[in-house]
Structure 1
Amino acid sequence: MAKQAQTPMMVQYQKIKDQYPDAFLFYRLGDFYEMFNDDAIKGSQLLELTLTNRSRNAEHPIPMCGVPHKAVQNYIDILVDQGYKVAICEQMQDPRLTKGMVKREVIQLVTPGTQVDVGSENAKTNNYLTAVVANKTGEQFAFAYVDLSTGELKVAKLATKAELVNELVSLATKETVIESDLPASIQETIKKLGILRSTQSQLPVNSSVSYLSQGVNDPLMKRVLKMLLDYIQTTQKRSLSHLKRAVVYEPSDFLEMDHNSQYNLELIKNIRTGKKAGTLLWLLDQTKTAMGGRKLKQWIERPLVNANRINERHDAVAVLLDHYYERNQLQDELIKVYDLERLAGRIAFGSVNGRDLIQLKTSLKQVPKIKYILEQVADKSFQEMLTKLVPLDDIVNEIEAAIVEEPPISVTDGGVIKDGYNEQLDKYRDATNNGQKWLAELEAKERKITGINNLKVGFNHVFGYYIEVTKVNLNKIPENRYQRKQTLANAERFSTPELKEKEALILEAQEQSKTLEYKLFVTIRDRIKQSIKRIQDLADAIASVDVLQSFAAVSEEYRFVRPTLTAKHEVAIKDGRHPVVEKVLGHQQYVPNDVDMGSNTNVLLITGPNMSGKSTYMRQLALSVIMNQIGCFVPAKKAEMPVFDKIFTRIGAADDLISGQSTFMVEMKEANDAIENATPNSLILFDEIGRGTATYDGMALAEAIIEYVHNHIGAKTLFSTHYHELTALDESLKQLQNVHVGATESNGELVFLHKIQPGPADKSYGIHVAKLAGLPNNLLKRANDILTRLEKQADEKQAEPKAPRVSQSQPSHQTEATQEEQISLFPLETVNDNQVEVVSEIKKLDLMSKTPMQVMNQVYKWQQKINRE
């Protein structure tokens, strides 16, 4: 593109744009934010704006589009939600008072991780900005995350890439700050996860960074914290006094679940819809505040592993369950509490308005009531929360005295401060009000003098105050009474020396009033800003109380019971249920099941037809464990369980599109993750391991995995399978128990009993399930014919053995009868020890307990053994 002379404004624009090459630059121009060049072309497409041109008569017009400044937030949200950054460039001087170019600066860079203006639909969701640095070898990581809207700040040391990926996915971060020399493989993984990568250069150390990092001693963690905080300061360019001191955490401080397990168990997101409905969060969320909703989600994602803390939450839930009346009162007060955490953030940012302060006042007024209700319960389990529930009467009184009950959204246009709060402001308002009264009297007087009944005194921002007369009445105006000011299509506007004088007084009073009001508002806001830490403590306590009352409400509604924590390696659940499935189906339709895994049982091998409820049975145990360890009661008649340290799941079939791995590879990697990291205190759920490959490969892997978990790990394990051959493992593995989901046939139709029963399943019922799925009748008939033929072939192979003769190398202790049996099965010249062993196995085989497929698989094994040298 050929160069052309740029105007001073475009020179200024380009200079600023060069500082933010990866962001849309919203350049303030009067009442609009404008975009130019490539920003305008792309922005017009994304925001559905009309693309125009600046300097359209030039050889190379400049593409241009814009949005109204009063509606800018909506457009920013659209771009940021799609993963883009937006630099907001404001006019730093009043154009009316400035000669030449108005000074402009970027006042904020809004990015996916720093977005704080969330809509009501995201009120119960955190928006985390994360950061990661690696050590010199690139094998260990420091990881930090922050929610700018609430002030939460945490940091951890992660030992592996898998742990890093798990934190990134679990936190659902949209943006990660990285060092430019972070290993390429890590950067590529972050990119494949769809997370925006941002870099940050080092800034000089300042006091706020030092304060927020107090208590963090590890050099790598201090480095990642500084990088994260430097990025926030660079992009936000405003006070961050609401950020809390960094909290160091380790994944092992909580029940460890990788993101696959959280996904498979549908804790936060429904697998089919990606929404909240149909998840554990959906079931448990009867919180009344946005803060409580966010804390509930955090508790579900990070259950406790400390038995004392779990019992403290159980105690609190039990108290609230026993005090129905007080709990209802508590709920009524919590409903009136707004989002104190995010209000504190807006106060720190300086973006709070009058309505926000009224919400703050309303919320703080509920604190004494909430505290009184909890004190009436008089239970030690609320002691920690009660110490934080300190009423902030000074803030309530300040807002009560200063802010009108229904303030406007804008804090610069007046109408926010109450009459009587400031003497000077009252004087300005009196002058304005008297002026308005004078204008009304002037209009009445002029109508009387001129006899023009529709004469009016009006105002606009361009021409000020005027007297307007329609053209048909112009002849009624006394000569030289008015001075012409503006001509309209149907009227003329006039002024008088007296009106001009009064106009100056009124406008000065209005302007002075607005300026003073804004100064008073800022002063009030800054005073409240000094109490942000107190507000945050209140918010944390109220959020915890809200979650606990939600647990009590849900436990009462769905008949949950308090679990007993045991130090023994035992699980005993009577009539356990899957709480989400039960809510969807209804209590009457759900069939409860026991889970009985004493110290002598570590593995339950679950067989039964598809659709019978094997996966539901496995998931309901995992959900009961999680509910127990977040402090909620559990769906059962009685429950006793230990505190688990980790949960591993291999449930469902899905390709890993990010890494390009097949279903079977994902299956094997998840199995390996459990095998490498599980401890005796872990819970493992394996659903249909080995189904993604050939029958014998899959069966061999499944058997080997069960044996390894049984012999080397000792974790409580639920393993569902269609390989009925595996049920024989209970003979060699002492801590394995066979169970199956009952099903029966009635008039040729399959009926699921959904009841877990001891022992292995007798049939797979595959064709019956296919019928339930709606496959064509002719296809099902053909499948039955094939099954009959296979069963017949298996029977014939068993019924037609060849007669062998005994080998001369037969052991001397073998009886004569056994030798005769050998002669009846094998030719003399081929008899070997393997064949003798096969004969022994044939004699012991219980055909009536085997399926046709099991028989075929066993015959294949015998063939391999017989033909082996």
Structure 2
Amino acid sequence: MTREATHQRRTARKRSPAAEHQPLAEFVPSRRQYLELKSQYPNAILLYRLGDFYEAFDDDARVVAGDARITLTSRSFGRNGRVPMAGIPHHALNHYLARLLAAGHTVAIAEQVSEPGRGLVERAVTRVLTPGTVAEPALLPVGENRYLAAVCPRGERLGLAWVDVSTGEFAVIEFEGHEAQVLLAEELARLDPAECLIPDNLQSPLPLRGHVTRLEHWHFDPERARGGLMEHFRVRSLAAYGCDEKPAAIGAAGAVLAYLNRTNTALLPLLTGLRTESTGSSVGLDAATRRNLELTRSFGTGGSRGSLLGVLGEPRTAMGSRALRRLVNRPLRDLPELRRRQAIVAALVDDGGLRGHLARQLVATGDLERLTGRITQGLAGVRDFLTLRTSLQAVEAIAEHLLASSPALRRLGEQIDLCLDLQELLDVAVVEDAEGARIRPGFSPALDAAIAEIRETRRWLASLERRERERTGIRSLKVGYNKVFGYYIEVTRPNLSLVPTDYIRKQTVATGERYVTTALKEAEARILAAEEEIAALEREALGRLSGVVTAHAARLLRTASQIAFLDALLALAEVAGRGGWIAPVLDDSEVLHIVAGRHPVVETSLASEPFTPNDCHIGGDGPRVLVVTGPNMGGKSTYLRQIALIVLLAQIGSFVPAAEARIGLVDRVFCRVGAQDDLAGGQSTFMVEMVETATILHQATRRSLVILDEVGRGTSTHDGMAIARAVLEDIHDRLGARTLFATHFLELAALEAELERVANVHVAALERDGRVVFLYKVRPGPANRAYGIQVARLAGLPPWVAERAETLLAELTSGQSTYQLVTREEPLAASQTAGGNEDVACQLALTGFQPVSSACQRLARELCALDLNSMTPREALDWLYEQQARLRAMTR
């Protein structure tokens, strides 16, 4: 079953059988209220607030119990019987929401909107969450974007739009031609959206990612979408956004807008602009290449630790972390922009003091992007506006440092909008003092008056206890308060005779009696009324502030984007300074010239051990294809990947780990390494290898960088060698791409003499005392052997198996062994001879091997190989016991 089909099955909701056939009027009020709300959101899980729990009922309860991993119970609704129920504690809502959203569900949350205690509590759905429309920080990964995407097919074109509703990023791109689906797959692999919208009438398959949601197809109509976008942005044309002539992209963007309008209109004010991407502006990276190069996710850890992203420093802000991830995910082909980034990184590398100043101020900016989103949704409190003010003050300090620095940094500082008018507004609107975070006096005169009134009443209450003690003579008299009974005067039992006649008894307690007076009741009423008024006036003041900030959201988001970009480049500068990285020379040539290059991730993981650097020279007047040979564990894969990573680092504007580098920009990088299968998709390891190889041969160009490791190893030796040679010849003769081709087929080294642009290099190793020593150095020429048995010994292969393998290898290489078809002597089964098949069944056997050496000979060899000078007595005894056990087993 496909992911889309599974999602449709899960989200297809209906009422319980009992509810299907009964009119709503026959249900008890609470059940009727639930079913009415559920009918408004039939394809969502409805979480219905009941006291301290959010409850799901009927089929929703079964799904919640399974996917959120909570207990399934039931509840009685009077004469309507019992229904399944699953409850989530209100304080743990976000924890379980994350599980439901990860499973691909849409969740509608019904809150209590009236005070309990006055009949049936009114409830209303206050928000609808889907995997791609989550804006709550508690449900989002801090350093990652979460995207909602939409795909709009239109003739030969495919439009793609994506939005991050927590930061306001909204962008489109359009693909056309025979590679449209390939380019779409690459872009979706980069974005990795949580949810993908497609038309409900779409029939042809598309390379989608995330949880697929089918939306009414008319929302994707370009003209309808154009009208919706122009109305949202309040413009008469989309030309300023660069997509006026891209109908498929417009259709996708319109579908995103319509979906947000349906699920949560509060998200729309944050969408202040629309960016149009071009297909030729970035380096093409398919999903396999991203995975094999471990750009943002490591095989070993499952997260960013151990990936390229994980070694590129730690930005000071969450928005900087997201910006750095976007840089790594989207290397550029734009030479001027790359040189601009490189100049900023260089200026930061050269000035350690400036890096320290900027780092401290960046910490104070916080997550300005998501803070702006929270304010535009009307969810902000006084503390959020104080944080915004602090962030803008830090931005001002950052800009001052940049403007006093190098030309590259000064230009960046000039682009930052300081939003001084917003700072001034926040200065007069909010304050934090001894009373806490609050609206500053003077911003709302009505609020000030209400606060003054309640303060006067509280002063009266504060002095009441002293006055009443003096009036009554009761020294133990106390004035107190609790949430149930309000304010009271408490008198202990020995003093009850002194209670004045104007005291009204309210409650008996163990130690005495509690009373109220008319004046006390009036004061309490004034306080309650004033508190309600203050709360309303505070909401009104915060609403005014939110409205002003929302009106300037576009400016704030541009500022946040610049600060996040600076934070990401600062992280690159810090890792470059710490690791001794250099600025590569970038140009439009086809040269790839790297001197003393290092693998950034492996070098970091080695810690105190030195990394062996290596050169790479391909393109230009030299060879375009390097055939890389050498032993397993010798460093071939590390060498191949480090070249690809250095190129990608250069094309995000970073410095690179090398002594010298000149890199002619590449249009695509393809990396096929490792052995993987796809059992769910019915593909063996070899099939996956061939699919990835075929993708490279179909899509690579002369300006691409191709990394191929062990092509053909998943099949027989002769088949594999034939495939590997054919692939290498096609790359050399037809594609002309700059290529590193690692192989264990040493016979392919002969191609250097046959193909003009092919050269051999090998990863050096030595053999000492039967052990292989890896030098990790790439040298010219082919390897003369694979050292497979020596590596097997390192892996722990039993000594007697390794020895037998060496014997067989010697016989194979000397030509003493031959292959022979041996006829099977037993008769064929009836099923094998059906249909008159007279073929003789054969099996392949190896003949000509020398007989296995005797146990005595093996024991003699092992005894001679013992290093008696270094053996401990315990090791000698262990060896003797091992030989004794082996001999006993042979004589049984």
Tell whether the structures are fold-level matches, with TM greater than 0.5: yes
Task: Give 2:595's aligned residue.
Answer: 574
Contact 2:396 2:418 in 1 (8 A): yes
Distance 1:320 1:589 in 2: 26
- Name the aligned partner's letter for residue 267 of structure 1: L
Are 1:232 and 2:232 matched, yes or no?
no
Task: Give 1:506's aligned residue.
Answer: 527
TM-superposed CA distance for 1:380, in Å, is 4.1
Contact 1:200 1:231 in 2 (8 A): no
Distance 1:74 1:320 in 2: 40
Secondary structure of 1:264 counterpart:
helix
Deviation sequence 1:28-74 (CA, Å, 0-9, x none): 45665443333334435555666665446546123445455565444
- Percent identical among aligned pairs is 39
Aligned positions of 1:461-476 closer than 5 A: 461-469=483-491, 472-473=493-494, 475-476=496-497
Task: Give 2:828's aligned residue.
Answer: none
Task: Give 1:759's aligned residue.
Answer: 781
Are 1:117 and 2:136 matched, yes or no?
yes
Distance 2:406 2:499 in 1: 84
TM-superposed CA distance for 1:454, in Å, is 4.8
Number of residue pairs aligned between Structure 1 and Structure 2 = 782
- Name the aligned partner's letter for residue 201 of structure 2: D
TM-superposed CA distance for 1:777, in Å, is 1.7
Query: In structure 2, do the counterparts of structure 1 residues 378 and 698 end up closer, same or farther at CA, with 3 Å as the change threshold?
Result: same
Distance 1:456 1:73 in 2: 43
Task: Give 2:167's aligned residue.
Answer: 150
Residue range with higher mean Cα deviation, 217-226 or 745-754: 217-226
Residue range with higher mean Cα deviation, 656-665 or 27-36: 27-36
1:339 to 338, 355, 367: 367
- Name the aligned partner's letter for residue 367 of structure 2: D
1:245 to 269, 273, 285: 273
Contact 2:347 2:406 in 1 (8 A): no
Task: Give 2:182's aligned residue.
Answer: 162
1:615 to 621, 637, 645: 637
Query: In structure 2, do the counterparts of structure 1 residues 738 and 407 end up closer, same or farther at CA, with 3 Å as the change threshold?
Result: farther
Distance 1:322 1:239 in 2: 42
Deviation sequence 1:624-657 (CA, Å, 0-9, x none): 1001111011111111120111101111111134
Query: In structure 2, do the counterparts of structure 1 residues 276 and 120 end up closer, same or farther at CA, with 3 Å as the change threshold?
Result: farther
Task: Give 2:423's aligned residue.
Answer: 396
Deviation sequence 1:364-418 (CA, Å, 0-9, x none): 00222211211221404652x333312222222222222232799xxxxx96313
Q: Which stretches in structure 1 are left out of the alignment for 5+ residues?
A: 409-413, 798-869
Query: In structure 2, do the counterparts of structure 1 residues 795 and 731 end up closer, same or farther at CA, with 3 Å as the change threshold?
Result: farther
Task: Give 1:199's aligned residue.
Answer: 215
Contact 1:286 1:554 in 2 (8 A): no
Contact 1:202 1:230 in 2 (8 A): no
Residue range with higher mean Cα deviation, 570-579 or 652-661: 652-661
1:266 to 267, 282, 294: 294
Distance 2:722 2:186 in 1: 30
Residue range with higher mean Cα deviation, 720-729 or 332-341: 332-341
Distance 2:478 2:113 in 1: 39
TM-superposed CA distance for 1:129, in Å, is 0.5
Deviation sequence 1:307-347 (CA, Å, 0-9, x none): 22211211222222222222221222112111111112112
- Name the aligned partner's letter for residue 554 of structure 1: V
TM-superposed CA distance for 1:253, in Å, is 1.5
Query: In structure 2, do the counterparts of structure 1 residues 71 and 760 end up closer, same or farther at CA, with 3 Å as the change threshold?
Result: closer
- Name the aligned partner's letter for residue 551 of structure 1: L
Task: Give 1:834's aligned residue.
Answer: none
Are 1:630 and 2:652 matched, yes or no?
yes
Distance 2:279 2:18 in 1: 57
TM-superposed CA distance for 1:601, in Å, is 0.3
Are 1:698 and 2:700 matched, yes or no?
no
Are 1:128 and 2:147 matched, yes or no?
yes
Task: Give 1:829's aligned residue.
Answer: none
TM-superposed CA distance for 1:14, in Å, is 1.0
Distance 2:75 2:91 in 1: 22
Contact 1:177 1:200 in 2 (8 A): no
Residue range with higher mean Cα deviation, 44-53 or 680-689: 44-53
Distance 1:467 1:381 in 2: 68
Query: In structure 2, do the counterparts of structure 1 residues 658 and 309 end up closer, same or farther at CA, with 3 Å as the change threshold?
Result: farther
Aligned positions of 1:448-459 closer than 5 A: 448=470, 454-459=476-481
Aligned positions of 1:434-449 closer than 5 A: 434-448=456-470
TM-superposed CA distance for 1:587, in Å, is 6.2
Are 1:178 and 2:198 matched, yes or no?
yes
Distance 1:151 1:416 in 2: 28
- Name the aligned partner's letter for residue 620 of structure 1: Q
Contact 1:288 1:331 in 2 (8 A): yes
- Name the aligned partner's letter for residue 8 of structure 1: P
Secondary structure of 1:377 counterpart:
coil
Contact 2:383 2:437 in 1 (8 A): no
Are 1:328 and 2:345 matched, yes or no?
no
Contact 1:355 1:406 in 2 (8 A): no
- Name the aligned partner's letter for residue 208 of structure 1: H
Task: Give 1:596's aligned residue.
Answer: 617
Distance 1:116 1:654 in 2: 36
Secondary structure of 1:395 counterpart:
helix
Deviation sequence 1:91-141 (CA, Å, 0-9, x none): 455668xx87665432321111111123498221000011112235xx642
Distance 1:425 1:588 in 2: 66
Query: In structure 2, do the counterparts of structure 1 residues 395 and 690 end up closer, same or farther at CA, with 3 Å as the change threshold?
Result: same
Secondary structure of 1:153 counterpart:
strand
TM-superposed CA distance for 1:466, in Å, is 1.8
Distance 2:481 2:682 in 1: 68
TM-superposed CA distance for 1:474, in Å, is 6.6
Secondary structure of 1:257 counterpart:
coil
Task: Give 1:743's aligned residue.
Answer: 765
Task: Give 2:516's aligned residue.
Answer: 495
Contact 1:618 1:685 in 2 (8 A): yes
- Name the aligned partner's letter for residue 525 of structure 1: S
Query: In structure 2, do the counterparts of structure 1 residues 53 and 120 end up closer, same or farther at CA, with 3 Å as the change threshold?
Result: closer
Distance 1:358 1:200 in 2: 43
Distance 1:537 1:350 in 2: 20
Secondary structure of 2:575 counterpart:
helix
Contact 2:233 2:273 in 1 (8 A): no
Are 1:531 and 2:552 matched, yes or no?
yes
TM-score of the two chains, using structure 2 as the length reference: 0.83
Deviation sequence 1:531-560 (CA, Å, 0-9, x none): 111111111111222222222211110001
Query: In structure 2, do the counterparts of structure 1 residues 2 and 705 end up closer, same or farther at CA, with 3 Å as the change threshold?
Result: closer
- Name the aligned partner's letter for residue 243 of structure 1: L
TM-superposed CA distance for 1:234, in Å, is 0.5
Distance 2:751 2:131 in 1: 53
TM-superposed CA distance for 1:692, in Å, is 0.7
Distance 2:73 2:690 in 1: 56
Residue range with higher mean Cα deviation, 611-620 or 389-398: 389-398
Aligned positions of 1:669-748 closer than 5 A: 669-748=691-770
Task: Give 2:830's aligned residue.
Answer: none
Q: CA RMSD in A?
A: 2.7
TM-score of the two chains, using structure 1 as the length reference: 0.85
